[in-house]
Amino acid sequence: MKTVHVSTGKPYDIFIERGIIDCCGEYVKRLSSAGKVVVVTDSNVAQHYQWRVLNSLSKQNLDVKTFIFPAGEESKHLGTIQNIYKVLADFRMTRKDVIVALGGGVCGDMAGFAAATYLRGIDFIQVPTSLLAQVDSSVGGKTGVDLPQGKNLVGAFHQPIGVLIDPDTLNTLPDRFIADGMAEVIKYGCIKDAAFFENLESVDALSHIEDVIETCVSIKRDVVSRDEREAGERMLLNFGHTLGHAIEKIYNFTGITHGMAVAVGMVLIARAGEKQGITPKGTADRISALCEKYELPTGDNAGFAEMAEAAMGDKKTAGSSINLVLLKGIGESFIYPLPLDELEDFITT
């Protein structure tokens, strides 16, 4: 087993081990004094893992309910949260009880937000089953839902009490969801670790996926431990996300996954940095080639004016400016404030 300790205001551990999903009940008992557990999952994940998790929880004599929502980003809205609240209230959950988020990033974001806000905060455990959630979204305590005006505009910082990562769950994922997660993996190499980026270029990441997961969550752990609420350094984790979120919004969060949009966003913002003389020439081509290696798109038909307009409602705006994340080189990133009215020209290449 690999264990990564996260030293936030509410410290917790990330456990990485094949088969750990079948020990979920033992970890609920170890990490909490819960008598009741609500498992939040989606319609796809439930088919594969719901009964294994419920069996593990039942073995620990825990009282369990399950909430299943339709899989997909389209479910990530306040209406779904309202339905989760109803299950929690009808089950008479207390502050000592626990929510288990069993699924990908959408599931973790929503279950975490419900946990952050129900009874003004109850505990939750992340059991991420997608590569994107395992390497990124399950760690760091960001929770939330989308609004029609933009992605993750309603949310809260609420750290889990533990993260259980079972790499074997990746075996049931379609290839496009593996690619989706690889966008976030590539991001970590871009912003913090040139050697890791080079390893992704030379070796198949899936051949040593446990090491890849550990590297990504360790990088995020370090950043989040220094800046839990995104006052500075944590913004670097948004590399590619400003334009990525804009692209998702343009398509109304359908037809393009988060990872696909972020891959395009990383390539476009690297090219913009090159145009400005900030990012070394050839950086965008390296990112593009690596994205293509892992079957991610590197361009989109949406226009730059449309992207700039969609980015106006992004969380990273501050008054009349927006904080972009640019690269001085692979593995070296920084925050670049830019007036909003200059964004379209900045990203047009």
Q: Give the residue numbers marked as catalytic.
A: 120, 142, 184, 220, 230, 234, 238, 241, 245, 258
Positive or negative torsion for Cα 98, 39, 75, 163: positive
CA distances from 190 to 90, 163, 209, 234, 279 (A): 46, 25, 18, 14, 12
Q: Which of 265, 270, 135, 275 is closest to 196 using CA atoms?
A: 135
Torsion of CA 187, 77, 299, 237, to 10 degrees: -20
Positive or negative torsion for Cα 57, 19, 107, 219: positive
Positive or negative torsion for Cα 249, 187, 172, 77: negative
3-state secondary structure 2-55: EEEEECCCCCEEEEECCCHHHHHHHHHHHHCCCCEEEEEEEHHHHHHHHHHHHH
* Residue 157 φ then ψ, to 5°: -85, 120
Pair of tokens at residue 240: 């590619």
d(CA 283, CA 236): 17
Q: Which of 141, 136, 92 is closest to 112 using CA atoms?
A: 141
Q: Which of 323, 139, 335, 109 is closest to 220 using CA atoms?
A: 139
Q: Which of 50, 13, 57 is closest to 36 using CA atoms?
A: 57
d(CA 116, CA 126): 13
End-to-end CA distance of the chain: 46
Contact 161, 32 (CB under 8 A): yes
Q: How many residues does the chain have?
A: 349
